[in-house]
């Protein structure tokens, strides 16, 4: 692997100043499951690797029912799904956390890292969008917050400016009648990259028969994870029905603009966009009714 | 070339100190510096699981951990799985079930299975298969491996390893 220096950072300010000084020659390390592979293969260059796992801000999990969840950008997936309360409150996030790589990847890989890696096919991003997650960013001029759907700007590229890094993710408390899910299509049973992935959340009314709110996001069908606000909006105020779900799926499908690559053709992905949106909504609705 | 860094670990129950360049993976240091060649380099990118070790109680690919990150950590490798000279029940069951051919993937499978049984002492077959999905074997076709793990989970000896 290319030679670099390593710093185990001990404060947010230290990370920001190291990043500001070193520009794109510095890389932030949390779980390393993407970064170390990229450095080894020469796809990324680094003179300095800044390990942020030692910061309280990037490694904490704060959860209170009714208040919501904030978890550090370096929190590995397994710490989220090993927490029964969080797993129950954020089912869409758990769907994603349990299928990013195998167990040994989930022991290291973080959702924050998955977001910063900015793969169009990242599993956690549609789930984070479905759960209305907010990215908390630290930088030279302080902290700013960006909705996750605006965080990625191109394959492998994010909103982060020089000197900035992702500190944590803030996820609102689920409302009563809330349900969410993330599903992906892969040709195998596990350990694969999504051909299409869909994150969806719904909030149903007190009688659990009418949509109050809904959010739908697709992965692997555009240069960035794709939030389709109008697909969710089409459900609001409607009774839960196969027709309403089908219409939302059609809107999501229309928004998808996939490419053909080794994992699937554009045509197949377009088809999957509707199928997976429908299935994910059905799962989210079932969870909302059971909640 | 970057300067070497001093790293202190608890490795298989012993205090072990070594020097590592920041760019060296834990796997490289285990094999090339510490002569613990049980963990294997298969893919070197986190897909195959042949290099798996348990770090601070969590199963990880040692090829995706920098050696310097192991400072202050407890690490268990395949060399630390056996018990006072006796094979661990998992190791015995792998032999009994002939759950290996070439053997390259075997240390990784046993370390993964150990982490599984530490967390879920009585797994279902589905749980075993899902847990081991990050370990690749190109010889035997998994079935004997899964049987060996399930049999080890049922073994009274395993209970004794927890005492």
At A34-60, the pLDDT tens digits run 999 999 999 999 999 999 999 999 999
Domain boundary among B31, B60, B80: B80
- Based on the domain organization, do B96 and B156 belong to the same domain? yes
Using a CB-CB cut-off of 8 Å, the residues of chain A touching B135 are: 102
pLDDT tens digits, A116-174: 999 999 999 999 999 999 999 999 999 999 999 999 999 999 999 999 999 999 999 99
- Based on the domain organization, do A165 and A212 belong to the same domain? no
Output the DSSP codes for A70-138.
EEETT-BHHHHHT-HHHHHH-HHHHHHHTTSS-HHHHTT-BHHHHHHHT-TT-SHHHHHHHTT-EEEEE
- Based on the domain organization, do A202 and A250 belong to the same domain? yes
Instruction: Read off the CATH number of the domain in which A42 is found.
Output: 3.30.43
pLDDT tens digits, A234-290: 999 999 999 999 999 999 999 999 999 999 999 999 999 999 999 999 999 999 999
pLDDT for A1 equals: 85
- Based on the domain organization, do A150 and A70 belong to the same domain? yes
Structural domain span for residue A38: 5-51
Structural domain span for residue B115: 89-162
Using a CB-CB cut-off of 8 Å, the residues of chain A touching B123 are: none
Instruction: Read off the CATH number of the domain in which A256 is found.
Output: 3.30.390.50
- Based on the domain organization, do A103 and A187 belong to the same domain? no
pLDDT for B1 equals: 52
- Based on the domain organization, do B96 and B154 belong to the same domain? yes
Instruction: Read off the CATH number of the domain in which A74 is found.
Output: 3.30.465.10
pLDDT tens digits, B108-154: 999 999 999 999 999 999 999 999 999 999 998 899 999 999 999 99
The three-class DSSP label of residue A33 is: coil
pLDDT for B136 equals: 96
Q: Given CB atoms, is A280 within the 8 Å cutoff of chain B?
A: no
Domain boundary among B80, B112, B127: B80
Using a CB-CB cut-off of 8 Å, the residues of chain B touching A192 are: none
Please enumerate residues of B whose Cβ is less than 8 A from a Cβ of A.
1-2, 5, 21-25, 44-47, 49, 52, 55, 58-61, 63-66, 68-69, 71, 112, 115-116, 130-135
Low-confidence residues in chain B, pLDDT < 70: 1-2, 163
- Based on the domain organization, do B101 and B157 belong to the same domain? yes
pLDDT for A107 equals: 97
pLDDT for B120 equals: 95
pLDDT for B2 equals: 63
- Based on the domain organization, do A145 and A218 belong to the same domain? no
A192 confidence band (pLDDT: 50, 70, 90): confident
Q: Say if residue A76's pLDDT is above 60.
A: yes
- Based on the domain organization, do A210 and A240 belong to the same domain? yes
Domain boundary among A129, A150, A171: A171
Total number of domains constituting chain A? 3
To the nearest whole Å, the CA of B69 is away from the closest chain A CA by 8
- Based on the domain organization, do B95 and B155 belong to the same domain? yes
Nearest to A96 by CA among A200, A166, A173: A200
Instruction: Read off the CATH number of the domain in which B97 is found.
Output: 1.10.150.120
To the nearest whole Å, the CA of B39 is away from the closest chain A CA by 14
What number of C-beta contacts closer than 8 Å exist between A and B? 91
pLDDT for B163 equals: 55
Domain boundary among A152, A171, A190: A171
pLDDT for A15 equals: 98
Reduced 3-state DSSP string for chain B: CCCCEEEEEEECCEEEEEEECCCCEHHHHHHHHCCCCCCCCCCCCCCCCCCEEEECCEEEEHHHCEHHHHCCCEEECHHHCCECCECCHHHHHHHHCCCCCCCCCHHHHHHHHHHHHHHCCCCCHHHHHHHHHHCCCCCCCCHHHHHHHHHHHHCHHHHHHHC
Domain boundary among A116, A149, A171: A171
pLDDT for B158 equals: 87
- Based on the domain organization, do A74 and A116 belong to the same domain? yes
To the nearest whole Å, the CA of B112 is away from the closest chain A CA by 8
Question: Cα dihedral angle (B16, B21, B26, B30), rounded to 10 degrees?
Answer: -50
- Based on the domain organization, do A102 and A136 belong to the same domain? yes
Percent of chain A at pLDDT > 70 equals 100
Residue with tokens 């499951």: A33
- Based on the domain organization, do A97 and A114 belong to the same domain? yes
Domain boundary among B48, B80, B112: B80
- Based on the domain organization, do A204 and A268 belong to the same domain? yes
- Based on the domain organization, do B35 and B94 belong to the same domain? no
Q: CA neighbours within 13 Å on the CB side: how many for A186? A: 16
Burial of A92: CB neighbours in 10 Å, binned 0-12, 13-18, 19+: buried
Testing the interface with B: which of A107, A109, A114 to mutate, by most B Cβ within 10 A?
A: A107
Average pLDDT over residues A87-101: 96
pLDDT for B31 equals: 98
Instruction: Read off the CATH number of the domain in which B13 is found.
Output: 3.10.20.30
Q: Nearest 5 degrees, angle CA B48-CA B54-CA B60?
A: 40
Q: Given CB atoms, is A3 within the 8 Å cutoff of chain B?
A: yes
Total number of domains constituting chain B? 2
- Based on the domain organization, do B67 and B117 belong to the same domain? no
């Amino acid at each position: 692997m290319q030679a670099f220096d390593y710093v185990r950072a001990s404060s947010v300010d230290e990370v920001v100043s190291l990043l500001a000084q070193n520009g794109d020659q510095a890389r932030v390390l949390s779980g390393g499951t993407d970064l170390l592979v990229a450095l080894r293969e020469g796809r990324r260059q680094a003179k300095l690797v800044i390990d942020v796992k030692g910061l309280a801000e990037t490694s904490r999990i704060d959860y209170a029912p009714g208040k919501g969840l904030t978890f550090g950008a370096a929190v590995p997936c397994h710490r989220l799904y090993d927490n029964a309360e969080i797993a129950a409150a954020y089912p869409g996030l758990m769907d994603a956390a349990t299928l990013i790589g195998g167990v040994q990847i989930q022991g290291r890989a973080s959702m924050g890292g998955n977001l910063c890696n900015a793969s169009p096919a990242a599993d956690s991003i549609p789930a984070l969008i479905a759960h209305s997650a907010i990215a908390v960013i630290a930088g030279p001029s302080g902290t700013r917050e960006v909705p996750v759907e605006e965080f990625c700007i191109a394959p492998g590229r994010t909103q982060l400016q020089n000197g900035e890094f992702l500190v944590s993710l803030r996820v609102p408390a689920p409302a009563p009648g809330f349900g969410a899910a993330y599903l992906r299509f892969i040709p195998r049973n596990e350990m694969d990259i999504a051909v299409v992935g869909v994150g969806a959340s719904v909030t149903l009314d007190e009688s659990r028969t009418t949509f109050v709110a809904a959010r739908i996001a697709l992965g692997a069908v555009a240069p960035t994870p794709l939030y389709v606000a109008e697909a969710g909006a089409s459900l609001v105020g409607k009774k839960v029905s196969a027709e309403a779900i089908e219409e939302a799926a059609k809107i999501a499908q229309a928004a998808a603009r996939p490419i053909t690559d080794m994992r699937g053709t554009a045509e197949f992905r377009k088809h999957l966009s509707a199928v997976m949106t429908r299935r994910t909504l059905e799962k989210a609705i079932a969870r909302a009714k059971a909640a | 070339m970057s300067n070497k860094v001093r790293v202190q670990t608890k490795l298989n129950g012993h205090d072990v100190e070594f020097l590592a360049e920041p760019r060296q993976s834990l796997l490289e240091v285990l094999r090339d510096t510490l002569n613990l060649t049980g963990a294997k380099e298969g893919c070197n990118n986190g897909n195959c699981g042949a290099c798996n070790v348990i770090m601070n109680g969590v199963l990880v690919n040692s090829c995706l951990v920098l050696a310097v990150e192991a400072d202050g950590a407890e690490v268990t490798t395949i060399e630390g799985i056996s018990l006072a000279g006796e094979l661990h029940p998992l190791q015995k069951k792998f032999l009994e079930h002939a759950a290996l051919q070439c053997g390259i993937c075997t240390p990784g499978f046993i370390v993964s299975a150990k982490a599984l049984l530490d967390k879920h002492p009585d797994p279902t077959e589905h749980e075993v298969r899902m847990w081991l999905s990050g370990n690749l074997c190109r010889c035997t076709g998994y079935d004997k491996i899964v049987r060996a793990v399930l049999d080890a989970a049922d073994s009274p000896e395993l209970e004794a390893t927890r005492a």
